[in-house]
Structure 1
């Protein structure tokens, strides 16, 4: 946001300047040559809104301009089904073995790419116990940071992730589990480039880092793992972020509905006690119960 607002006074950032920023971003291209998604621009606007709220609280500006957010389209995510995931992992082992441990760990743990490249052998990986501690993440511009929700989480490792990690550990020269070619921390683009090469080797659609995270979450839900547990494994701060995978769970909510319904009687359709079946379109009138005949009241004589 610095090119757009860096040379402006806080009181010069008004609704018109903010709308111009939105329009410019929608026309620009990202580093990968793709248009900016409304969600990405909205993330920028959230930061700007927070900055302006603080400025208003500190009496640095008189009026708080209306920021407004772009309408986001319902996001669809790409993931590998069970057969595709097995084929992808096998392709990595056969055609790009140096990337095989990275791929397996990504698919089996659902870590963000920044969390994967920040993993350290001594502090984060316990191969004897088969556990992984996610304590930090890496951002190309900001360096090593805490995890996205500032919480440390511990995840179990599957056997097919432990074996290649053991082999990788024997070849490691530094503290990072997945270093770059120069031994330093690895960036996102080389990871995506490698994943596309692996997918291309088996004529699969392009696969990127976050697709492997979606794959982990989708597989967990389809295998019946409860949504709150999936949320904890993914490190989501809000369960609504995890609920996007809920539709993949077969029979979710069925037990609730069965508990609400009355027991089905043998040989008929269950109905509430005392209810009289009547077709919605029926013209039949319900008969009112007869009232007891009124007894004439005398004059008291």
Structure 2
């Protein structure tokens, strides 16, 4: 790059800021030529086409740490998610994040599935990884697309919800009263059956949230506060229990032992949650409103509550009244 005076008295700005591209222009004065030289040089220096941004070489573990610092720490399960993501980084040998290979991730997922990890857990973990890239891109920390954006989730077959009959409820309560080593099990079970609460919600109930014939649950899974009325007798029973035994403490292990003694067999993973299903199932069978049930259970969407809709009396009656056999002429069932 140089500025030279020509034989005719003009000044030539001969600028080549980048190899392969040259700018030449004549000016009347040396100052004009120098200004042009500076203009070309500075503009090309700022041109991303000529100054490509250095490739992001950060490892996946670095992005996981950054995600946790900027966003993950605010989540209720943030620590648990980070632990799972850290384990993933180790299994995948901590690749450069932007070069995370979907095929490599899919291979790791297959090995974990063969080791007995459930499809639901694997889908959740894929969601955690995607969230790292999506959140950091939204925060301006990365500028490339999510490398796992197009990966498909496992298809999960809907499980039949297990719930207890009136007889099974009686058997369970008898098993609790006759041989339970933890006094808190009975009132917690009664709260779950009476309000559709999750075990952790009922177990965490405090006296300040039981008043005026209603129970208020906070710090719920959906982060919403909800209030459910209960019978006066149940309120009195729980208050008397607190006077004699203090506030509830961890009782899930004692509950599982009582469930085993009762002889009731439930699918794996549905032990305490079957109490919540039992409330919802009986609520619908007795003619309860599906929208009211949604509010009681605290579901974020009606779609989750619709799992119980088939138990409504009108739904069952229509299945008999509207099926095609009901209108076949001249045909009678014979035994």
TM-score (norm 1): 0.67
Answer yes or no: is the 8 Å Cα contact 1:78–1:211 preserved in 2.
yes
Deviation at 1:253, TM superposition (A): 8.8
Deviations 1:105-159 (A, max 9, x none): 111111112222322222x122xx22100111xxxxxxxxxx2222110011134
Q: Secondary structure at the match of 2:299?
A: coil
The match for 1:3 among 82, 87, 90 is 87
Q: What are the ranges of 5 or more consecutive residues in structure 2 without an aligned counterpart?
A: 1-84, 322-326, 328-335
Within 2, Cα distance between the matches of 1:166 and 1:245? 32
1: distance between equivalents of 2:298 and 2:96? 37
Superposition deviation, residue 13 in structure 1: 2.5
Provide runs of 4+ in structure 1 moved above 6 Å: none
Q: 1:23 aligns with which of 105, 110, 120?
A: 110
User: Structure 1, unaligned stretches of length 5 or more?
Assistant: 29-34, 137-146, 180-185, 259-268, 270-301
Measured in 2, the distance between the counterparts of 1:2 and 1:59 equals 19
Shift of 1:69: 0.6
**In the TM superposition, what whole-angstrom CA distance separates every residue of 1:155-208 from its partner, at most 9, and x where no partner exists?**
1113453243123111244xxx321xxxxxx3xxx50x3233212323222561
* 1:1-301 superposed matches below 5 A: 1-5=85-89, 7-28=94-115, 35-57=116-138, 58=140, 60-65=142-147, 66-96=150-180, 98=183, 99-122=185-208, 124-126=209-211, 129-136=212-219, 147-159=220-232, 161-173=234-246, 177-179=247-249, 186=250, 191=252, 193-206=253-266, 208-252=271-315
Q: Which has the higher contact order (CA 8 A, sep 6+)?
A: 1
CA distance in 2, matches of 1:154, 1:108: 12
Contact 2:294–2:305 (CA under 8 A) maintained in structure 1: yes
Taking structure 2 as the reference length, the TM-score comes to: 0.61
CA distance in 2, matches of 1:228, 1:132: 19
Deviates more, 1:110-119 or 1:231-240: 110-119
Length, aligned pairs only: 227
